[in-house]
Amino acid sequence: MRVPMEKFGEKLGADIAALRSKSTAEIIKLAGPMDISGDATDRGEAYMPVVDGFVLPDDPARLYLTGKFHNVSLIAGTNADEGTLMGGPPVRNLAQFRKWAEKQFGSQADDFLKVYVAPGDADAHAAAARAYGDFLFLQGTRSVLRAVAAANVNTFQYHFTRLNGIGRRINWGAFHASELPYVFLTLPDSAFGTSASFLGDFSVDADTYNEYDSTLAKAMSGAWVQFAKTGKPNGPGLLPWPAFAKGKESYLEFGDQIVAKDKLREKELDFLSGFTESRRLFRRKGFGAATLEEIAAKAGVHKQTVLRYFGSKDEIAVAFRQVALHNFRKGLLDPGRKVSVLEYWRDFIEASAREVTRRGDVVRYTRLVESEPDLMAALFKIKMQYEELLASALSREAGTDPAHDLYSRMLAAFLADGNFAVFRMMLSNDTLDRYVSTALRVVDFAIHRFPSRKDWSR
């Protein structure tokens, strides 16, 4: 990730001095909304550790899994509403929630939506923000805790759920870093200051904190001080804090009450871990060498959990292709579609080609698919579904029987195979720079120069 990260930095300025002259707001604006789908990561635009071979010798997740870390006591935790950071995902209704889920989780979007349920439009943003926080913060925290707990019994997890006046005002809930002034006894200060900024209004008034916030802060600070002294957050005058251990996975919740609980968001994290570890293994070992048993083991879940959520290894690997097909079918069969089938296909190809060109991982993904016969077969089935959908739609548009309409089948094959041929040609030249224009040339040829139905029937 070092090279793409550096290329991303070069967009801001030619040297380190130029980068340092930029404001935080300018950098955040350039980066755009946070994305957990992997595209931003491949382009070097994600906030993540950079394996440079010097500070970090390897992927931190791999270092933890292989026990290559300092064996010391650990407190690690998260807040209830980590995913509201910077306002959270751009989701305000159920339609946007599904679109967001499909972009992030591909063919597993339906299973994702069963785990992160939003009954109505009013619930969509909260559900997306919860998933966002779990993916970016809680999932990794659990993985680290599991790795450290296997080597050191003095491993402890916390979960901060206290909603104070600032969280209510900016509608972020128990937001990222809101526990820090409690731990360090710096109330009414916060990690984001005590004034309004481009992030939100963090100013303090009489309703921001109350007496209980002071009591909670003393309890939290006392536990952390004891941990710093002894390697354990337990001692005289402190509430018992059970260790995080295999099986029970206990944690201490700091909220309106301080209470010990077990297995924080287990169902949600099992789903996310299966999704993440499958992608990690495919990239590191290759699709063929990565087994479902390995994916489950790395995710810390049972193989049946992976099968329940993802169906098969093939489904994980061709996920974004399945999403594109789903979106094409949905638009093509929409009774409200106002353009012809050919015009709709042209719009779809243009949007898809631009997205493929934008993505940073398409070439690598295609190499993966080509190296595995099972994946090539799965991809061929997807291409055939495009042909069938196009042929049926063209027949219905012409008022003919799809079962006996050879013309529509020939035209559909030309369109689907033509796009495939263009993509293959671009890949053979190791560039996608002209993919959009060349793909549209094929569609325009079909629209303007393919034999008409009348000429075909002569």
Strand-pair category, 155-160 with 74-79: parallel
N residues, the chain: 458
Computed over every residue of the chain, the mean pLDDT equals 83
Q: For residue 315, which amino acid is it? A: E
- Per-residue pLDDT band for 43 (boundaries 50, 70, 90) equals low
- Reported as a pLDDT band with limits 50, 70 and 90, residue 110 is confident
Both tokens assigned to 314: 């093939």
What pLDDT is recorded for position 369? 57
pLDDT tens string 227-280: 999 999 999 999 999 999 988 999 999 999 999 999 999 999 988 887 777 665
Give residue 1's pLDDT band: very low, low, confident or very high (50, 70, 90): very low
Amino acid found at 48: M
Helix ranges, 333-405 (H) = 341-358, 362-370, 373-398
Helix (H, G, I), strand (E, B) or coil at 1: coil
Q: Are strands 250-254 and 258-262 parallel, antiparallel or unpaired?
A: antiparallel
Which residue, chain included where needed, has tokens 């064996």? 71
Query: What would the mean pLDDT of 134-149 be, rounded to a whole number?
Result: 93
Residue type, 104: Q
pLDDT at 283 over 60: no
Q: How far apart (Å, rounded) are the C-alpha atoms in residues 102 and 86?
A: 22
Q: What pairs with residue 158 in β-bridges?
A: 77, 252
The whole-number average pLDDT for the span 344-356 is: 88
pLDDT tens profile 424-451: 787 667 677 788 899 999 999 988 888 8
Q: What is the pLDDT of residue 289?
A: 47
CA distance 323 to 312: 16
H/E segment holding residue 307:
helix 303-310
CA 273 to chain centre: 11
**pLDDT higher than 80, residue 358:** no
Q: Which pLDDT score is estimated for 194?
A: 85
Range list of β-strands (E), 130-180: 155-160
**What is residue 219's predicted lDDT score, i.e. its pLDDT?**
97
Domains identified in the chain and CATH numbers: 1-52 (no CATH), 70-264 (3.40.50.1820), 318-456 (1.10.357.10)
Contact 83, 174 (CB under 8 A): no
d(CA 325, CA 303): 28
User: How far apart are the C-alpha atoms of 332 and 395, rounded to whole Å?
Assistant: 13
- The per-residue pLDDT for range 199-217, each reduced to its tens digit, is 788 888 888 999 999 999 9
